[in-house]
Amino acid sequence: MLGHYQINNDLNPRGIYDEKTKEYKGNPYTQFEKVKEDLKELQNKLDEPNKKYQDYLKQLADWEVKRKEIEGSDDKEDTIRYYEKILKYIKEKLPKDLKNKKKERLKKVRKIYNGKKELVEIYKSLYKPVEDFVAQHKLSDPKYQVNFDVSLEVKEFEEKFFSFVHQGVKGSFYGSEEGAKRLKSLLDVTDFNNEDSVTEFLNKIVENLEQDQRSKKKGKRIIKQQLKRENVLDFYDFLFSLDYLNPIYKLKLGDIELSLLSPGEKGAILLIFYLLIDKDDIPLIIDQPEENLDNQSVYELLVPYIKEAKKRRQIIIVTHNPNLAVVCDAEQVIYAKIDKTHNYKVEYISGAIENPKINQRIVDILEGTLPAFSNRDSKYTITKTLEQKV
Is 86 among the domain residues?
Answer: no
The whole-number pLDDT of residue 13 equals 54
Among 198, 222, 251, the domain-final residue is 251
Domain co-membership, 299 together with 379: yes
Is 381 among the domain residues?
Answer: yes
Domain co-membership, 7 together with 139: no
Domain co-membership, 228 together with 106: yes
The whole-number pLDDT of residue 369 equals 83
Per the CB < 8 A criterion, the answer to whether 72 and 80 are in contact is: yes
Q: How many Å separate Cα 16 from the centre of its chain? A: 110
Q: Pick from 202, 188, 194, 208: which is nearest to 238 by CA?
A: 202
Domain co-membership, 150 together with 277: no
Is 68 among the domain residues?
Answer: no
Is 133 among the domain residues?
Answer: yes
**What's the pTM value of the predicted model, to 2 decimals?**
0.62
Is 94 among the domain residues?
Answer: no
The whole-number pLDDT of residue 361 equals 87
Domain co-membership, 174 together with 298: no
The residue range of the domain holding 173 is 102-251
Show Cβ contacts of residue 244 under 8 Å, excluding neighbours closer than 6 positions.
Answer: 154, 155, 156, 157, 160, 238
Report the relative pairing of strands 315-318 and 333-339 from DSSP bridges.
Answer: unpaired
Is 280 among the domain residues?
Answer: yes
Domain co-membership, 204 together with 336: no
Is 263 among the domain residues?
Answer: no
Is 136 among the domain residues?
Answer: yes
Per the CB < 8 A criterion, the answer to whether 359 and 353 are in contact is: yes
390 residues of the chain, pLDDT tens digit each: 444 444 444 445 555 666 676 665 656 666 677 777 777 777 777 777 878 888 888 999 999 999 999 998 888 888 999 999 999 999 999 999 999 999 999 999 999 999 999 999 998 888 787 777 767 766 656 666 777 788 899 999 999 999 999 999 999 999 999 999 999 999 999 999 999 999 999 999 999 999 999 988 888 999 999 999 778 999 999 999 999 999 988 877 777 887 888 888 888 878 887 787 777 889 989 998 888 888 888 888 788 888 888 888 899 999 888 888 888 888 999 998 898 888 999 999 999 989 999 899 888 888 888 887 777 777 776 655 555 555
Domain co-membership, 116 together with 247: yes
Domain count of the fold of the chain: 3
The whole-number pLDDT of residue 181 equals 95
Domain co-membership, 232 together with 106: yes
